[in-house]
Chains A and B, each alone.
Chain A
Amino acid sequence: MHKRLAYGSGAGVTLDELPLGHDARIASVDWAALVPEEAQRLRALGFDEGAQVRLAYRGVFLGRDPLAIEIGRMTVALRRIHARAMHVEDLAA
């Protein structure tokens, strides 16, 4: 399985690249990259700049999709394509 090597200071990492179990803060979201309804649904679930998130589960078998993200006191399932629009700051790095 392909592993990413360096995370640097956490900048430039998108949510789907976050190692499992790491706490992170959403630095920015590229809303334009998302379908408007999905962007709205994600916002309604609390995904926005400043929100603290954690990548809890990733994929089934060897697939890397979908992802389960812990946000606040919720666990939200979403796809990699959504996570890739969110730049996060890895708080554990």
Chain B
Amino acid sequence: MSRGPFVAALVGNPNAGKSALFNALTGARQKIANYPGVTVERKAGRLLLPSGEPVELVDLPGSYGFAATSPDEEVTRKVIMGEQAGQVRPDVLVVVLDASNLEQHLVFAQEVLELGRPTVVALNMVDLAARDGLTIDAAALAAELGVPVIETVAVRRKGLAELATAIATARDTAARDNAPAPRVHVTLPERRLLARQMAQGATLSETARHRVHAQMDRLLLHPWAGPPILFALLFVVFQAVFSWAAPFQDALEGLATAFQNLARTELPASLLRDLLTEGIIGGVGAVIVFLPQILILFFFILVMEATGYMARAAFLMDRMMAGVGLSGRSFIPLLSSFACAIPGIMATRSITDPKDRLTTILIAPLMTCSARLPVYAVIIAAFIPNSRVLPGVGLQGLVLFALYVAGIVGAMAVALILRRSVTKGAASGFIMELPKYQLPTIKDLALGLWQRAWVFLRRAGTMIFTVTVVLWLLLNFPRAEPGQSQVDASIAGHIANGLAVVVEPIGFNRDIALALIPSMAAREVAVSSLATSYAVDSKDEEAQDIALGDQLKHHWTLATALAFLAWFVFAPQCMSTIAVTRRETNGWKWPGFMLAYLFALAYVFAGITYWTALAFGLG
């Protein structure tokens, strides 16, 4: 039988170090997509055998057994059995074991081995096992299991070549001898007993259990010290997002301006030149400027995931989440939603309870996603003085923090109401393994950051680009009569006139109404569309070069600016989020509900903010 590259799949318990091993084996050549029909992520990459033959390596979701309790585990089972659409049955299974937790990981390994398929075992993280005082005899384990066992350390690339060779050999042997016969099926308690015996038999030496994790947990899970540490950490993250990114943002801004000037000097004055400088370079530039902040935020989220702290955060937050009818499990999807609600909503697949999951999806857009940062950043920089409240704590950072807190508090309140009304059901549980602490590797972080940056740039390069250009066209046609403002004459101006009536009671002027239209596609476009509309409106070149912040200060009152911020805390302004919600909930009912309740909240809170600010004389 001849066909394309043969397929090998990595299987194992969660926390077996599969992803790090996968990254080490395939490098940056990865394809990430969804399995058709379900929303479980399919990660595949190319591994070269010593012979130079390519293997398609698939990283399957972590699983405790074939009796699935979550959609992720269901996909793992189906792929292995060859029942998953969009994935050929793997020729070779690579079972990944955590060398320092054999007793647990050997249980699922036996279940896989019972299938009698070509299998190789990767005894992973042997370095961490050694740190824990464990020496494992790989040969003894191989004799017990009846398949090759390769010791691997993904970080130091140990055992990778041997693993590739073993995969090739397993395939060749199976092709020669026909498939090995399935083994005797045993029950879970029997498997567990066997796992314990095998683990003990293969353990050469075991010094007293290493206490590094326990000591770290003693501090980080401390009932009184743990939560303030988590809170302080999150606070540092948001200060960093605001201050560390500044020099990089200035550089990117300078670059965009340089391109605009170049186009202005090199090209003859025309409407087309204006489209290029104001529409394209100005619009896309205004969004790309926020790449540094997004990368810094993702950096912290990836570090928390890689070190194992994320699960501790879930532990610490479980009590609070339980208070609103959710579990600590929802904390990770919600925290991811701070970067973007889309991966956050997709991460809810690990929540087993359907009501719990639905509630988490519905409140995920209330977490302040990175696309809102551009909007917040511009408004804060323009209207909030850059003064120090305390040493090292700036007022601007504090306001940003308050906006994040507002989103969280709003989400909790909504969850509480939803769990008592539309998503009423039994209280959900919380069962979660707390993985060992680990140092993150530069390579895994870099790869993760690159994948995130690419997604953002592709969005900026396509959707945001299109929206910006369309908006520029709407703003510039039909052309204004002499003495008439261009914005007033344009198509967009007329649409905004209608919308302005609706948003006027909450302090929004016509320019904001105008910016709200394209920001439905992507929130960050609000910034570039404000930039475009103020650039179009100003008569001379000099005025166009005034920073957007100064333009805003000229056109807006503080009360309007605050109302605008409040609007963005709640408004469901991203079509992609709605689309992903539709896919995850299988219909238009829940995304429709989401749109309605978020718009209502945004309108009410922007209004309250505006009128409160006016009452305090901030108009």
Contacts from A to B (Cβ < 8 Å): 35, 37-38, 40-46, 48, 56-63, 65-66, 68, 72-79, 81-82
The reply to whether A37 and B69 contact each other, CB–CB distance below 8 Å, is: yes
Chain B contacts to A: CB under 8 angstroms? 64-65, 67, 69, 100-101, 103-104, 107, 132, 188-189, 192, 209, 213-214, 217, 221-224, 226-227, 311, 314-316, 318-320, 322, 328, 352, 426-427, 429-434
Tell whether, in the assembled complex, residue A41 and residue B223 are in contact, meaning their CB atoms are under 8 Å apart: no
A-side contacts of B214, CB under 8 Å = 56
Q: How distant is the Cα of A62 from the Cα of B339 in the complex, in angstroms?
A: 31
22 of the cross-chain contacts (CB-CB < 8 Å) are A37-B69, A37-B352, A38-B429, A45-B431, A48-B189, A48-B192, A56-B217, A57-B223, A57-B315, A59-B223, A60-B226, A61-B224, A63-B319, A65-B322, A66-B315, A68-B434, A73-B100, A74-B101, A75-B433, A75-B434, A77-B430, A77-B434
Q: Verify B328–A77 contact, CB threshold 8 A.
A: yes
Q: 8 tightest A-B contacts by CB?
A: A44-B64, A75-B434, A63-B319, A57-B221, A66-B318, A37-B69, A73-B101, A77-B432
Contacts of A59 in B (CB 8 A): 223, 319
Which secondary structure dominates where chain A touches chain B?
Answer: mixed
Q: Which of B100, B188, B311, B352 is within 8 Å of A77, CB to CB?
A: B311
> A62, A73, A74, A79: which has the most chain B beta carbons within 10 Å?
A73
- Known contacts A37-B69, A46-B103; 17 additional CB pairs below 8 A are A40-B67, A41-B352, A45-B431, A46-B192, A48-B192, A57-B221, A60-B223, A62-B223, A66-B322, A68-B217, A72-B104, A77-B318, A77-B328, A77-B434, A79-B322, A79-B431, A82-B429
Identify the closest chain A residue to B15 (Cβ): A74
With both beta carbons as reference points, the residue of chain B lying nearest to A78 in the complex is identified as B431
Q: Known A60-B226, A63-B319, A77-B315; judge A41-B430 contact (CB<8 A).
A: no
Q: Which B residues are in CB contact (< 8 Å) with A63?
A: 223, 319
Q: CB-CB < 8 A to A82: which residues of B?
A: 429, 431
In the complex, what distance in Å separates the CA atom of A45 from the CA atom of B431? Answer: 9
CB <8 Å contact, A45 and B430: no
- Given A38-B431, A42-B431, A61-B227, do A72 and B101 touch, yes or no (CB 8 Å)? yes
**Bound complex: CA A79 to CA B104 (Å):** 21
Of all chain B residues, the one with the shortest Cβ separation from A75 is B434
What's the minimum C-beta distance from A36 to chain B, rounded to whole angstroms? 9
A75 to B217, Cβ gap below 8 A? Answer: yes
Q: Which residues of A contact B217 (CB under 8 A)?
A: 56-57, 68, 75
C-alpha spacing A59/B426, complex, angstroms: 21
Q: Give which listed residue, A41, A44, A76, contacts B434 with CB less than 8 A.
A: A76
Alpha-carbon distance A58/B222, docked complex (angstroms): 9
What A residues does B222 contact at CB under 8 A?
57
Complex CA gap A77/B69 in Å reads 17
Contact residues in A for B226 (Cβ distance below 8 Å): 60
A37 to B556 Cα, complex, angstroms = 55
A56 CA / B214 CA spacing, docked (Å): 9
Beta-carbon contact of B318 and A65 below 8 Å: yes
CB of A77 to closest CB in B, whole Å:
5
Assembly CA distance A76 to B328 (angstroms): 13
CA A16 to CA B561, docked complex, whole Å: 51
A60 with B432: CB separation less than 8 A: no
Inter-chain contacts of A74 with B (CB < 8 A) = 101, 104, 433-434
Q: Are B65 and A44 closer than 8 Å at their CB atoms?
A: yes
